[in-house]
Structure 1
Amino acid sequence: MGIQKEMSFLDHLEELRWHIIRALGAIMVAATAAFLAKGFIFDILIFGPTKADFFTYEFLCNTSKLLGFESFCDTNFDFEVQSRTMAGQFSAHIWTSITFGLIVAFPYVLYEFWKFISPGLYNKEKNSSRGFIFISSVLFFIGVLFGYYIVCPLSINFLGTYSVAEQVHNDFDLNSYIGLIRASTLASGFIFELPIIIYFLTKIGLVTPEFLRKNRKYALVIVLIFAAVITPPDIASQVIVAIPVLILYQVSILISKLVLRNQKRKEKNGE
């Protein structure tokens, strides 16, 4: 069944307003907790990829040794992160806390979004969308971890050691450094939502498996451009980022195929 009571446009806006308020409230609660945990957020998380004993560098070092060559084994960042404005550190603290709050509260934000749209769905549509919040959240968190443990270290390792001349010393602005961390993690998190997006686009008839297969070569170009934007300009880093995104695209084709198969089966059975 659909919604049981007709609602006016203003009623829908009022309902949407309260969903947004509750979602923002959850983000602010998580952001407040992050603000209070300044030592952990900055010393461990934000500046973790600048330390030689960071998990990714040790893993890549050990892996490269097994392959017969040493890489990422001499990770020594000779740069400083500075704040050049009066309110620079406080502003960075605020916005980093909000970003952390968004990441932590993401499942609840999805829940509020689902609560808003679900009354307008039929029971069979609700049943076919079970697990939406859980799967979307898992994909998002995997993407965030991928951005933090893969994209960020590769970018920092390259950009932090790159030099055009010995006379030029790297002194990065705090907001620039944190912006790199934020963009890498959030972009990866949202990119990993691709299978969910394809699922719903297929449900409403905007995307088909044939369309996705036909445009695979264009998707490959877009993925490589995306990898080039969020990673340092070296082939190895771009390939490391591009591979999981291409896998997600292939999984999306399979999901689209399964959605259409289920729809045809239900139409055949008269459901």
Structure 2
Amino acid sequence: MGTEASNKTEHISRKRLIREEGLMPLLEHLGELRKRLVYVLIALALGLVVGLVFAEPAYNFLMSQEPAKTISLHTFSLGDGIGMYMKFAFVIALILAVPVIAYQLWAFVKPALRENEQRSTLKYVPFALMMFLTGLAFSYFVVFPLAFNFTRTVSQQLNLEETYGIAQYFAFMFNLLIPISLLFELPLLIMFLTAIRLVNPKRLRKMRRLAYFIMVLIGVMITPADIISDVLVAIPLILLYEISVFLSGTVYKKQLAADARYEAEYGDSLNKA
């Protein structure tokens, strides 16, 4: 009986040790993730302070551009003005925080990367802001006028009196600008995931049909319900995916070449060991 009890106790202790050994890395990862999220929130908070300062100049600039300068904007509630002001501040904060978010993502996965992979992925961080601003420009100068003019044309065909609220106008604008700007990070994200060996061009090509469907679905969701707007948005998104596949291929070829050099240099010694 004593031997059985001792074996049972030892078995329970071993299971507890296994659980604890499996739990510690998970807790460490969660702690690291929490730290990175705190840094992102701090960056957003600091960006929001800057955004509150520059919200009015940004508002004045957009109001001086078409189509805003060709229409009259109204307020329908006491909170419209402050709501619009905070929207501008948040968008400015998001723009400023994009490089920080990209760096924190890199820092989170850094411990799992080899030294050469750490260097190769770190260089993507500065391009995060550039891609976001490119998406912002495309969505503002191409997609937004197209969507706005379409909705305005429909209202005129229905003989509706045009009365635009400032909160609704900018909500419509930012609901287009922010998703499209984030989608412009796709090539950079795919290159990063390829560099850390989570995806490769072969897998991306196999997913092409699904990716096209998702891109078209996004184009339909963020544009007015007409086929022209959907196509004009979906085509650039599909091109973004194809660019992502191409860039993934360039990264993947460099990885294969590096692996071949490593195998040629250290392969014999590793096999002997």
TM over 0.5: yes
For 1:35-114, what aligned pairs fall within 5 Å after superposition? Answer: 35-45=52-62, 48-51=65-68, 77=71, 80-114=72-106
8 Å contact kept, 1:46–1:181: no
SS for the counterpart of 2:164 is strand
For 1:85-234, what aligned pairs fall within 5 Å after superposition? Answer: 85-163=77-155, 164-166=157-159, 168-203=160-195, 205-234=197-226
Which residue in the other structure is 1:251 paired with?
Answer: 243
| Max Rg structure | 2
Cα gap change, 1:12 to 1:221, in 2 (>3 Å): closer
SS for the counterpart of 2:73 is strand
| In 1, Cα distance between equivalents of 2:227 and 2:186 | 24
Structure 1 or 2: larger helix share? 2
Identity of aligned residues (%): 29
8 Å contact kept, 1:28–1:98: no
Number of residue-to-residue matches in the alignment: 239
Shift of the alpha carbon at 1:39? 3.1
| In 1, Cα distance between equivalents of 2:120 and 2:66 | 41
Does residue 1:31 correspond to 2:24, yes or no?
Answer: no
Shift of the alpha carbon at 1:35? 1.8
Structure 1 residue identity aligned to 2:205? R
* TM-score normalised over the length of structure 2: 0.74
Specify every segment of 5 or more residues in structure 2 that has no aligned partner in the other structure, as ranges. 1-23, 264-273
Specify every segment of 5 or more residues in structure 1 that has no aligned partner in the other structure, as ranges. 1-6, 53-75
| In 2, Cα distance between equivalents of 1:84 and 1:96 | 19
Cα gap change, 1:46 to 1:20, in 2 (>3 Å): farther
* TM-score normalised over the length of structure 1: 0.74
Tell me whether 199-208 or 146-155 shows the greater mean CA deviation: 199-208
8 Å contact kept, 1:107–1:134: yes
8 Å contact kept, 2:216–2:234: yes
Structure 1 residue identity aligned to 2:52? F
Tell me whether 92-101 or 236-245 shows the greater mean CA deviation: 236-245
Q: Which has the higher contact order (CA 8 A, sep 6+)?
A: 1
